Structure 1
């Protein structure tokens, strides 16, 4: 019985560590901009709207897949951006934006849409539309292979 308690504790600890990686580390646009200055890394921006059914499906099915979570967390700073949010303001490169004006600046016109930015916060490409986990990973891997880290 005495050996069972430390084993149970260890299993709970390991389970908690696994749960820590079970979610994408979403941040705001300005948080990603600050992070990439400290430690350069590509930026993945999920541009969505509250009414978009396919966006909700991505959140529920694709962005909870353990392989997708691990891949995005390892290779990108991940940003969630509501393309219709006109209230939250932030500064980027000396200009004030809302999430809506930033999405428009990025020329996002359909949802869901994913903007891939390099470590200097320059847009590389758009990756629009709903995708299941495996095709989504294949596409992201192709983008990273093409544009490098």
Structure 2
């Protein structure tokens, strides 16, 4: 009887240990596998583009913009969008209401002033720049992942 109790206790203890180990290792694995867009500053995009020319997309946003936040949660986390952007573009976030000073084309100006220079009037707006940092297009409004990816692919051609 003591042998059976000892056996049951040992078996139960091992099962509990395996279950605990199994649950504790899963969240770490899932978190490390999440892909993200490699966001850079406009200054970094200019430097990187000199070394390895790529087109640039600028996500012009504000802190209060609901659709900007929705794009951050959905469009910009879509695995297909993340992969395509990281391979073919430099991605920049620009706060249209920020006084943070940046350099663009050799001039120092606030992020908000650059948004005005891009003629942004609504949020979110995606400003597309060519490899030489010249404005090619500005696309206002929220876009789901498929529509956003289609826009980037058309511009890349």
* TM-score tier (shorter): 0.7 to 0.9
Of 48, 56, 59, which aligns to 2:72?
59
The equivalent of 1:125 in structure 2 is 137
Q: Is the 8 A contact 2:75 2:144 kept in 1?
A: yes
Aligned residue for 2:120, secondary structure, equals coil
4+ aligned runs moved over 3 Å, structure 1? none
Higher Cα Rg: structure 1 or 2? 2
Distance apart, 1:139 and its partner CA: 1.8
Q: How many residues align?
A: 129
The equivalent of 1:8 in structure 2 is none
Distance apart, 1:96 and its partner CA: 1.1
Change (3 A) 1:66 1:90: same
Unaligned 5+ runs, structure 2: 1-27
TM-score normalized with structure 1 length: 0.81
Which structure has greater helix proportion?
2
1:30 and 2:43 are equivalent in the alignment: yes
Once the two structures are superposed, the pairs formed by residues 74-85 of structure 1 within 5 Å of their partners are: 74-85=87-98
Residue by residue, what CA displacement relative to the aligned partner does 1:73-112 show, whole Å, maximum 9, x if unpaired?
Answer: 11101000000001x1122223111110010011111110
The equivalent of 1:72 in structure 2 is 85
TM-score normalized with structure 2 length: 0.77
The equivalent of 2:108 in structure 1 is 96
Aligned residue for 1:120, secondary structure, equals coil
The equivalent of 1:105 in structure 2 is 117
Residue by residue, what CA displacement relative to the aligned partner does 1:37-63 show, whole Å, maximum 9, x if unpaired?
Answer: 111111110000000000000000110
